[in-house]
Structure 1
Amino acid sequence: MSKVSRRESTRLRHARIRRRVSGTPERPRLAVFKSNQHIYVQLIDDVAQTTIAAASTVEPELKEKIESGANCAAAAEVGRLIADRAKAKGIEQVVFDRGGNLYHGRVQTLADAAREAGLNF
């Protein structure tokens, strides 16, 4: 029996999720990528293959507010920021793509903050 690494498990989960989840112009995909030091999120229209909006902890306006990009407080700030940018573009409904990560910790905090800021998913 072969062992599967954590990275490979994440990749397999992401592939399984992406088979079912796709973004449209009316309801784009809210894609989350999490590294050890930062968290990134994009609104993606898979039909036109374009990114509508993006936010991350590496942006200068967020770096001033947060002390670390790798905690739940930073993820909540990114969630609020992407929700504000989506509403500015007239988007209320999204499809959540957790990127193969477990719905726990930073990913869950980002999703909850985006919901509180007005996104529906």
Structure 2
Amino acid sequence: MPIDNKKEGFWSVIEDLIESSEIKYKSGDYKGAIDDKLKARKFISDNSNIINLKSKFKSLIRDLNCNNVKYNLIDDYKTKIDETKKLEIIIQLENLSKVKYDSGDYKGAIRAMRRSEKYY
């Protein structure tokens, strides 16, 4: 299979997982939502050799988050901090998500993961 077909196949799997995660989150299935999001991230890290996969993932997450019509304090804050601080916050929130997931707090885990994605 040529690299472009592989890339598109990987991308469609990631899109499906992210969409599934969003649907599950909105329906209150927090464990299912965080599991799908973690599968998508694992899939990206396992296939990191494919060009632009991480940037397309971040772009997809940004597009999904832009549909929120409420005022977003994080968007305002992002304009005032540098990239180093953004990475620091993302790592901190992702670690918090892992801790909450391991303790069985799936709602807290998916919320921390979604909050970290707002800094993309």
Shorter-chain TM-score tier: 0.3 to 0.5
Normalising by structure 2, what TM-score?
0.33
- Counting strand residues as a fraction of each chain, which structure ranks higher? 1
* Structure with greater helix percent: 2
TM-score by length of 1: 0.33
